[in-house]
């Protein structure tokens, strides 16, 4: 299982536009092969700080999504709303710490 966390900084005047774009893409992302969970989180103090939090069955499933035409067109659509550079992390669970 891969957990993907993406931090987005959305311009204050574009938060509504971003949310509308997310609402229209949410069900398609959730239905993508290997996507087991998808959630959008926003800072309670700064509404323009937004995180996507998703679980993917395999790293290949995540890569297939990131390389898909759907992702590329969605990213092109929302990129103008950003006020800062996105940050992303792909994580996997560690059952023991050394």
Buried b (16+ CB within 10 A) or exposed e, 59-80: eebbeebeeeeebeebeeebee
Secondary structure class of 45 (helix, strand, coil):
coil
| Angle value at C-alpha 36, between 45 and 88, nearest 5 degrees | 45
* Whether the predicted pLDDT of 96 surpasses 90: no
* Closest among 1, 74, 6, 69 to 34, alpha carbons compared: 1
Distance (Å, whole) CA 13 – CA 88: 23
Contact 38, 52 (CB under 8 A): yes
Each residue's pLDDT tens digit, 5-32: 999 999 999 999 999 999 999 999 999 9
Architecture of domain 2-92 in CATH?
Answer: 2-Layer Sandwich (3.30)
* Whether the predicted pLDDT of 40 surpasses 90: yes
Beta-strand pair 35-42/49-56: antiparallel
pLDDT of 94: 79
Each residue's pLDDT tens digit, 41-64: 999 999 899 999 999 999 999 999
């Amino acid at each position: 299982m891969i957990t993907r966390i993406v931090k987005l900084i959305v311009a204050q005047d574009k938060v509504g536009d971003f949310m509308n774009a997310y609402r229209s893409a949410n069900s398609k992302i959730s239905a993508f092969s290997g996507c087991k969970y998808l959630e959008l989180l926003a800072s309670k103090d700064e509404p323009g700080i937004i995180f996507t939090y998703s679980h993917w069955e395999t790293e290949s499933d995540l890569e297939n999504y990131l390389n898909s035409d759907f992702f590329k067109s969605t990213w092109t659509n929302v990129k103008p709303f950003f006020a800062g550079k996105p940050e992303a992390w792909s994580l996997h669970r560690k059952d023991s710490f050394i």
